[in-house]
Structure 1
Amino acid sequence: MGAGAVPGRPRTRPGHLVADKGDSSRAIQAYLRRRGISATIPERVDQAAGRARRDSRGGRPPSFDPKVHKRRNVVERCFNQLKHWRGIATRYDETVASCQAAITLAAVLMWM
């Protein structure tokens, strides 16, 4: 380890965030912009109506790519399938290795 190096896991920042409508608040969008993280978040109906009500002062809608957001569904379905395994859903495993083994086993059995 060189001089001035900090031990531990290096900090990482996601390049892109895909979220649902519950995370579409103006504060979250501003936070992501400040951190330089692009986002794919659908806009809620009330937010779109409020923007339209403010006319030109309402700003433009946030960018949204439906193809990217559609892939999010695949990940959520996988998590939901894994939750059907009681040991994984209740987190009974005491070690990281046994938890990873249970998730791997469940994923292989789901895949087959």
Structure 2
Amino acid sequence: MDQLQVAANAPAALELSVPYVSQDAALIAARFDDGALTGRSLIWEVFEQDAVDPVRYGLCLVKADGEPEVRIPVMGLTPGRAYRYRFLDGVNSSPEGRFITAMQRDTHRAA
């Protein structure tokens, strides 16, 4: 498995969080303690718990006003599944965050 190492000059996540989770979506968020990341683009990746390849990924811009942070809505996830996520500066990886999507509600009711 080709894993990126969390290096001393990796995106320094002060706080990783998932403020919203539903059956098929999540809002992943990170605040960074490195002002040098302000206004820079980062790659974000979401993986199923034990997967090597991401199920969702993209680019984001670290906010230039206020605290350096990102908030990414991730759609199309599987209900009741464990996921992990990270941010990359193109070379180095942040620590990983984790979340579990909500279980699918029973849509069939007995009469």
Normalising by structure 2, what TM-score? 0.25
Q: Relative contact order, CA 8 A, sep 6+: which one is greater?
A: 2
Larger Rg: 1
Larger helix percent: 1
Larger strand percent: 2
Normalising by structure 1, what TM-score? 0.25
